[in-house]
Structure 1
Amino acid sequence: MGSSDTVAEAQCIDVLVVGGGPVGLITAYQLARTLPSPGSTIKIVEKHAKSTQDAYGRAITLFPRTAEMLDQLGLADTLAQQCFACRETVSYDASGCEVAGRGWAFMEHMKDTRWDFSLVLRQKHQEEVFRSALRQLGVTLDTNTALVDVNVDETNPVDTHRVTATLEDAKTGLRYTVRCKYLIGADGGKSTVRRALDIPFDGSSSVDKWVRIDGVVKTNIPKPRSYCAIESPTHGNVLWVALDHGGTRIGYAFTPERERAYPVFDEAAAMKEAIAAVRPFELEFERVDWWTVYVVGQRVARTFSVSDCVFLAGDSCHTHSSGAAQGMNTGIHDAVNLGWKLSLVLRGLASPSLLHTYERERRPNVEKLIKYDKSISRLMTMQLPEDWTGDPDADPNVVLGEVMAEAAAFSSGLGIFYEPDDVLNRVLLPCEGLIAPGRRAPDVSLRKPGTLELTRLHRETPNLAVFYIVVFSGDPQVTNATFQAFCDALESSAFLKGSVVGDANALPIACITVPAVAGPSAWELLGGRGPAGGGKVFYDVPEKEAHHRYGVDIQQGAVYVLRPDGWIGTSLPMSAEAVPALETYFRGFLVM
């Protein structure tokens, strides 16, 4: 992709983020809260004026695992202030009778999390929250700024300013260059970054089209403030979602028969078909905020990175239908996975090779989503999946319910995992009964010393690009000797000691000790010493929720490493032998 003559001297920064949607904003936000002088080291650009781009529509739903990650970034509470918290679902057959176990029923069973609901908030409002948080850290989204060219000088070493981006001010037409160490393409399905670097976008688009329309409505649907499916004989499996601020989204299949009936399909036509789609129920639009027609398809970029310095995230590297409501969730998972890793590399705390784990971890989960989406999108248009081998006369609505139920743990995000490897998700010692590396770290209730005030593990392990060694020390009356031996070994570790006791030049590691019982003083409870690694102490609740959920025998104890993004890095029995294993784990990617 060629560029025209530029003016103005090149600006040098650490990271250029292209795309001002949720994926780009979350990536920039993670970097801004962990890098020094973010205002001069991070630049985020968006080619659209947000007053135009901020129209209603687009993505709406955040599932529990995404909400958990945003909670660890300090953003979820603000989103919850505005959201519609959807805990109820319903499915209606063609005659308007309620049917159980179909459609979105899985959403009522998203447990083992404090965020046990679908956080429904239109993308417009989410972006406002993210931009505000970013501004507070000194980084402003530059709108009306388009990327026109990208060049990588591979003769320069990795982690130097080897990327040159040409940007254009849409108002003035002025072109200028920015040199950066890393460029993040979060610029959507028609990504300029992906196209500029000639990255193939494998997959296809189908002939299926869907309509989505948002507005304020009147209806006699019995449960209008829910996530609802209506099994229409003419418009497929119709989506009905209660939105924030009293709105409603309706989505339906735009079949060839429907399309042929309209020489021009405009807002009036979209409303007319929506009214027909929800029959036998009645519908009246008081206001339309947004509507669209789009083609259903699935595509994945051939690679998620180029030359170890340009990375794609979100729709720029994978697109699919909105059938499973996973688009923004998957993009935010990309952003969170990449953000903390890039922060550690930029701060000189991790080897640049750590960034290789981004695609290695994210691609398998994207491919799982694409597989589910291919089936779900066809079933929502009343067609059986292409690879269907069952009864050819099966009811697509019934099969859809089965597929959605099968995908439930993945869709909620609570079952998403990363495969064990030799870098971040390592099995180092036998750990029977403990949660395996690469799995989600569950949120559990804890109590603060003294006040016994309730808190949560996720709140005490914020995503600041820091790893947490969590020592579940069990019952002190039984495990004291083992705990003392572990702490002695930790304090004797030349590699770990300075990293976990507050050294100014420490590695990004913090410690939390969780005894199974409470006491009048943590010092007495821990046998006359402070917490492991000089960190913090939180007591388990009387029901021993933390120990039980993490599979820890209170008579033995255990040690976990929690990654910055809330997945488990490794799990170990509590013993002096755990310390060499911890050294092995952290030496695999951190630098001292």
Structure 2
Amino acid sequence: METDVLACIYMAEKESLVDVLVVGAGPVGLITAYQLARFGGVSVRIIEKHSKSVQDAYGRAITLFPRTSEMLDQLGLADELLQEAFACRETVAYNSLGEEVHGRGWSFMNEMKDTAFDFALVLRQKYQEETFRNALRRYGVEVEASVELVGIDINDTASSSLHSVTATVQDAEKKFLKTIRCRCLIGADGGRSSVRRLLSIPFEGATSEDKWVRIDGHVKTDLPKPRAYCSIESPTHGNVLWVGLDRGATRIGYAFTDDRANAYAEFDEQAAITEAIAAVKPFALGFEQVDWWTIYTVGQRIAKRFSVDNCVFLAGDASHTHSSGAAQGLNTGIHDAVNLGWKLSLVLRGLAFPTLLNTYEIERRPNVQKLIQYDADISRLMTNRLPENWQGEPTADVNEVLGQIMDEAGSFSSGLGISYEYQADNPLVSSSSSSGPLKPGVRAPDITLLKPGTFERTRLFRETPNIGSFYLIFFATESSQGVSRAVFHGVEQSRLLKEWIASRSITYLTILPTKVPSVYGSLGRAYFDIEDKPGYQRYGIDPHRGGIAVIRPDGWIYFVIDIHTDVTNELEILFKGILLDPF
């Protein structure tokens, strides 16, 4: 009997069950785990190969662009980030003489409009991770470090509701092996992903011979705008990056050419400082303190596939890598995490069809491929070379071309222009017959609203937090009677819609075109449009007829519906292809 008890204890220590195992505790892994914990109904664990003290030594990513900040805001994380971040609202380029020039170098700030986050949120990755870890801890989930994934086995015959993935992990300190059986495993473990390697997923693309130096620290300088996103056109060090960081620090980046490498027996921290001083000439530079520095290789790669059997998924650098030239790595990874998080939650909670998970790669891959092309061009231009497939004048000024490409990629870089295009196999982006300005798959406008009674201003995104639920936004008619009231009644009587709402798959919200003393009787929480009804205009809805905007949990448009007699049936048809009847 004693032997049996000991065997049971041994097995309990060696094997455990969880719904989702996240591998990698960088921002992408933390945001993925946080969403699953926040939405509820799904158990989650997150493991990290490196201890936190080791991770703290890395400078890594620094910039969150507007769309990313919006998504983090809807997850309740932006306010805390803003308490520590530096809000950068200006880009500037200097030529080799130190003169400010326009239409060259960095110009992406020009497209940061139509958002409350009309700036680059600059905060070094280790401080972002602290915020995300603290948020995850509030849901009772701690990062398990130092724990390394050493094996993955997928039971192809198991039901999707069972724990079909067996992960073998090793404690880096105690060296013993454990197995974790899970329903899904997320590989968010970086460019050298163990998950991708263990599943033999090809990582396609190329690593160039180009190398860049990045150095963070506290500096003294006569640069005119040291707290901006700057580029300095250096004839010897490429298009030099200068970024004002949090806590008064600065990041400087420059090309690490053969000349730089050959000039030193060992390229150490002092060499990195010496070359940084040369790179920013004609401006003066002195370092008071160096926080971090590195040399890294530039390359663009993308995984052959982002998932295996809809039970293992790759996200962030595990599925695609690129240079920091476009400053998109962290942002793209968070876009991956947010796109995947709500879909995985709904499926694992039995509220959505498992085929919903197919849309993760369908939606993310085209945007990643677009980024990789931009990044390949930008990284060459920043080393004073024209893009590889350049069709223009061979003598073109590389800094002018860089400005043109940065301008062209502006809405994509900010994230505000990222959309999910129509594809026949994606039920989330159908071919819309709506004549309005918003099509399925585009970002939902974050319109200004007024709260009932006080008429206090708020934003739609603040009132539609990401809780893993679709939002039905009812734009009521001018009159409290008539078509919209009939629609309200019809929706209230719909069995399927009521059940989906009860399961938290769908949430109601009502927007009224004009202020009234009472919003009693509205579906869900109610708000008013502001004067001249710009909200109705942005959504292409006539205040005299009303309409419905269906917004995905991640803030993209699912559909905009004109009010007509069969609107309830149309809503049921839309959701029947995605959501399961929970009862």
Please give the TM-score of this superposition, normalised by the length of structure 1. Answer: 0.94
What is the alpha-carbon distance in structure 2 between the residues aligned to residue 475 and residue 56 of structure 1?
Answer: 56
Contact residue 182 and residue 310 of structure 1 kept, 8 A: yes
Q: Residue 513 of structure 1 aligns to a residue in which SS? A: strand
Q: Residue 173 of structure 1 aligns to a residue in which SS? A: coil
Q: Which residue of structure 1 lines up, in the alignment, with residue 559 of structure 2?
A: 570
Aligned-pair CA distance for 1:257: 1.5
Q: Residue 495 of structure 2 aligns to a residue in which SS? A: coil
Q: Which residue of structure 2 lines up, in the alignment, with residue 9 of structure 1?
A: 14
Provide, for residues 476-518 of structure 1, a one-character-per-residue CA deviation record: whole Å limited to 9, x for no partner.
27xx411022123212322113434xx3xx3510111111111
Q: Which residue of structure 1 lines up, in the alignment, with residue 6 of structure 2?
A: none
Q: Which residue of structure 2 lines up, in the alignment, with residue 270 of structure 1?
A: 272
Q: Which of 119, 122, 133 is equivalent to 2:121?
A: 119
Q: Which residue of structure 2 lines up, in the alignment, with residue 23 of structure 1?
A: 28
Residue 86 (1) aligns with residue 84 (2): no
Provide, for residues 295-330 of structure 1, a one-character-per-residue CA deviation record: whole Å limited to 9, x for no partner.
100000000001210000000000000000000000
What is the alpha-carbon distance in structure 2 between the residues aligned to residue 302 and residue 218 of structure 1?
Answer: 46
Residue 579 (1) aligns with residue 559 (2): no
What is the alpha-carbon distance in structure 1 between the residues aligned to residue 419 and residue 170 of structure 2?
Answer: 40
Moved more, 148-157 or 227-236: 148-157
Aligned-pair CA distance for 1:427: 3.7
Contact residue 145 and residue 170 of structure 1 kept, 8 A: yes
Contact residue 376 and residue 400 of structure 1 kept, 8 A: yes
What is the alpha-carbon distance in structure 1 between the residues aligned to residue 65 and residue 256 of structure 2?
Answer: 27
Q: Which residue of structure 2 lines up, in the alignment, with residue 469 of structure 1?
A: 472
Contact residue 477 and residue 484 of structure 2 kept, 8 A: no
Matches within 5 A, 1:97-108: 97-108=99-110
**Partner AA of 2:330 in structure 1:** M
Moved more, 490-499 or 580-589: 490-499
Q: Which residue of structure 1 lines up, in the alignment, with residue 512 of structure 2?
A: 515
Residue 448 (1) aligns with residue 445 (2): no
Aligned-pair CA distance for 1:7: 9.7
Aligned-pair CA distance for 1:544: 1.5
What is the alpha-carbon distance in structure 1 between the residues aligned to residue 103 and residue 82 of structure 2?
Answer: 27
What is the alpha-carbon distance in structure 2 between the residues aligned to residue 132 and residue 543 of structure 1?
Answer: 42
Residue 496 (1) aligns with residue 497 (2): yes
What is the alpha-carbon distance in structure 2 between the residues aligned to residue 471 and residue 508 of structure 1?
Answer: 17
Matches within 5 A, 1:347-362: 347-362=349-364
Contact residue 159 and residue 309 of structure 1 kept, 8 A: no
What is the alpha-carbon distance in structure 2 between the residues aligned to residue 324 and residue 215 of structure 1?
Answer: 21
What is the alpha-carbon distance in structure 2 between the residues aligned to residue 557 and residue 469 of structure 1?
Answer: 13
Q: Residue 476 of structure 2 aligns to a residue in which SS? A: strand
Provide, for residues 207-245 of structure 1, a one-character-per-residue CA deviation record: whole Å limited to 9, x for no partner.
111000000000000000100000000000000000000
Contact residue 56 and residue 122 of structure 1 kept, 8 A: no
Contact residue 471 and residue 574 of structure 1 kept, 8 A: no
**Partner AA of 2:496 in structure 1:** F
Matches within 5 A, 1:128-147: 128-147=130-149
Q: Which of 296, 299, 302 is equivalent to 1:300?
A: 302
Moved more, 489-498 or 18-27: 489-498
What is the alpha-carbon distance in structure 2 between the residues aligned to residue 197 and residue 159 of structure 1?
Answer: 21
Aligned-pair CA distance for 1:100: 1.2
**Partner AA of 1:461 in structure 2:** T
What is the alpha-carbon distance in structure 2 between the residues aligned to residue 591 and residue 133 of structure 1?
Answer: 30
Residue 329 (1) aligns with residue 331 (2): yes
Provide, for residues 509-533 of structure 1, a one-character-per-residue CA deviation record: whole Å limited to 9, x for no partner.
011111111111113xxxxxx11xx
Residue 34 (1) aligns with residue 31 (2): no
Provide, for residues 391-413 of structure 1, a one-character-per-residue CA deviation record: whole Å limited to 9, x for no partner.
00001000000000000010000
Q: Which residue of structure 2 lines up, in the alignment, with residue 423 of structure 1?
A: 427
**Partner AA of 1:493 in structure 2:** S
**Partner AA of 2:461 in structure 1:** H
What is the alpha-carbon distance in structure 2 between the residues aligned to residue 370 and residue 547 of structure 1?
Answer: 36
What is the alpha-carbon distance in structure 1 between the residues aligned to residue 319 and residue 111 of structure 2?
Answer: 31
Aligned-pair CA distance for 1:273: 0.4
Q: Which of 174, 182, 185 is equivalent to 2:184?
A: 182
What is the alpha-carbon distance in structure 2 between the residues aligned to residue 447 and residue 591 of structure 1?
Answer: 34
**Partner AA of 2:488 in structure 1:** C
What is the alpha-carbon distance in structure 2 between the residues aligned to residue 271 and residue 159 of structure 1?
Answer: 55
Residue 550 (1) aligns with residue 554 (2): no
Q: Which residue of structure 1 lines up, in the alignment, with residue 486 of structure 2?
A: 485
**Partner AA of 2:119 in structure 1:** F
What is the alpha-carbon distance in structure 2 between the residues aligned to residue 591 and residue 507 of structure 1?
Answer: 12
Q: Which residue of structure 2 lines up, in the alignment, with residue 378 of structure 1?
A: 380
What is the alpha-carbon distance in structure 2 between the residues aligned to residue 368 and residue 180 of structure 1?
Answer: 33
Q: Which residue of structure 1 lines up, in the alignment, with residue 243 of structure 2?
A: 241
Q: Residue 496 of structure 2 aligns to a residue in which SS? A: coil
Contact residue 516 and residue 547 of structure 1 kept, 8 A: yes
- Count residues in correspondence: 570
Q: Which of 158, 161, 184 is equivalent to 2:160?
A: 158
Q: Residue 213 of structure 1 aligns to a residue in which SS? A: strand
Q: Which residue of structure 2 lines up, in the alignment, with residue 538 of structure 1?
A: 527
Kindly tell me: are residues 56 and 202 of structure 1, through their superposed partners in 2, closer, same or farther at Cα, counting changes over 3 Å? closer
Please give the TM-score of this superposition, normalised by the length of structure 2. Answer: 0.96
What is the alpha-carbon distance in structure 2 between the residues aligned to residue 474 and residue 385 of structure 1?
Answer: 53
Contact residue 342 and residue 553 of structure 2 kept, 8 A: yes
Q: Which residue of structure 2 lines up, in the alignment, with residue 225 of structure 1?
A: 227
Q: Residue 297 of structure 2 aligns to a residue in which SS? A: strand
Contact residue 89 and residue 226 of structure 1 kept, 8 A: yes
Q: Residue 101 of structure 1 aligns to a residue in which SS? A: coil
Q: Which residue of structure 2 lines up, in the alignment, with residue 68 of structure 1?
A: 70
Aligned-pair CA distance for 1:56: 4.6
Q: Residue 351 of structure 2 aligns to a residue in which SS? A: coil
Provide, for residues 327-363 of structure 1, a one-character-per-residue CA deviation record: whole Å limited to 9, x for no partner.
0000000000001111101111011111000000000
Matches within 5 A, 1:44-55: 44-55=46-57
Residue 201 (1) aligns with residue 200 (2): no
Provide, for residues 520-559 of structure 1, a one-character-per-residue CA deviation record: whole Å limited to 9, x for no partner.
1113xxxxxx11xx31111111132211222222222221
What is the alpha-carbon distance in structure 2 between the residues aligned to residue 220 and residue 577 of structure 1?
Answer: 67
What is the alpha-carbon distance in structure 2 between the residues aligned to residue 393 and residue 476 of structure 1?
Answer: 64
Moved more, 16-25 or 103-112: 103-112
What is the alpha-carbon distance in structure 2 between the residues aligned to residue 139 and residue 345 of structure 1?
Answer: 21
Contact residue 7 and residue 174 of structure 1 kept, 8 A: no
Contact residue 56 and residue 289 of structure 1 kept, 8 A: no
Contact residue 110 and residue 410 of structure 2 kept, 8 A: no
**Partner AA of 1:83 in structure 2:** A
Aligned-pair CA distance for 1:148: 0.7
Aligned-pair CA distance for 1:197: 0.3
What is the alpha-carbon distance in structure 1 between the residues aligned to residue 86 and residue 530 of structure 2?
Answer: 30
Q: Which residue of structure 1 lines up, in the alignment, with residue 460 of structure 2?
A: 457
What is the alpha-carbon distance in structure 1 between the residues aligned to residue 477 and residue 268 of structure 2?
Answer: 64
**Partner AA of 1:425 in structure 2:** V
Gaps of 5+ in 2: 1-10
Gaps of 5+ in 1: 1-5, 524-529
**Partner AA of 1:494 in structure 2:** R
What is the alpha-carbon distance in structure 2 between the residues aligned to residue 75 and residue 176 of structure 1?
Answer: 33
What is the alpha-carbon distance in structure 1 between the residues aligned to residue 476 and residue 251 of structure 2?
Answer: 49
